[in-house]
A and B are shown apart, each in its own frame.
Chain A
Amino acid sequence: ETGVTQTPRHLVMGMTNKKSLKCEQHLGHNAMYWYKQSAKKPLELMFVYSLEERVENNSVPSRFSPECPNSSHLFLHLHTLQPEDSALYLCASSQGLAKETQYFGPGTRLLVL
């Protein structure tokens, strides 16, 4: 149990669907992250939230829309995705922005048809 949970664990969606990924951390951290892990590629940082404010957005297409309503919850809203967006989406949290102290969730395996 890592203290960071993600739902759903698996998701299959069509290109016209709208869905949301949810992340919850139970560690009392104040920073949260979304990463994308594609096959045979390095983990890519997508978004960083600190104290519920977005502090980093790494050139992610607008079809991915993050939301951080409080320091324990992070969402990734998905709409009109492309097949190449199929990947493992990992959430992480840390105390402060020290990335050395990140704890990862189990991820959501997304397949876009």
Chain B
Amino acid sequence: EDKVVQSPLSLVVHEGDTVTLNCSYEVTNFRSLLWYKQEKKAPTFLFMLTSSGIEKKSGRLSSILDKKELFSILNITATQTGDSAIYLCAVVRPGGSEKLVFGKGTKLTVNP
């Protein structure tokens, strides 16, 4: 059974801290891994990772994929209260009816 496991499930930090969110996966086929940020309701796309070892970066956020060890991390440096959200990881399986398997998410709370 395909599985995406995120850890920790929740995390509380202070502004300025650096956080690392983890996503491990077990899927029969793999095409890409996606990170989303979900504030209030609509998940918004952050990164798509397809190749191992290539860091994707956007401002204070960065992410990297390890296809050998089957995990990805999302780093946020110098956190701000606006980073408070649920961070979702999802793996895309290719196929005639391709599948998107989500993890449960990590709830990040950044306190002032």
Contact = CB atoms under 8 A, between A and B. Distances in A.
Given A40-B104, A42-B101, A42-B102, A100 B44 contact: no
A94 B97 CA distance: 15
Given A42-B104, A43-B88, A100-B48, A106 B41 contact: yes
A41 B92 CA distance: 18
Contacts, number: 48
Interface residues of A, number: 23
A55 interface: yes
Nearest to A58: B99
A90 B41 contact: yes
Q: Taking chain B's interface residues, is the majority helix, strand, or loop, or is none over half, making it mixed? A: strand
A108 to B, nearest CB: 9
Interface residues of B, number: 23
A2 B104 contact: no
B92 A43 contact: no
Interface in A16-45: 40-45
29 contacts: A40-B104, A41-B104, A42-B4, A42-B103, A42-B104, A42-B105, A43-B90, A43-B102, A45-B100, A48-B97, A55-B97, A90-B41, A90-B43, A97-B98, A99-B34, A99-B92, A99-B98, A99-B100, A100-B32, A100-B92, A102-B100, A103-B45, A104-B36, A104-B42, A105-B42, A106-B40, A106-B42, A107-B41, A107-B42
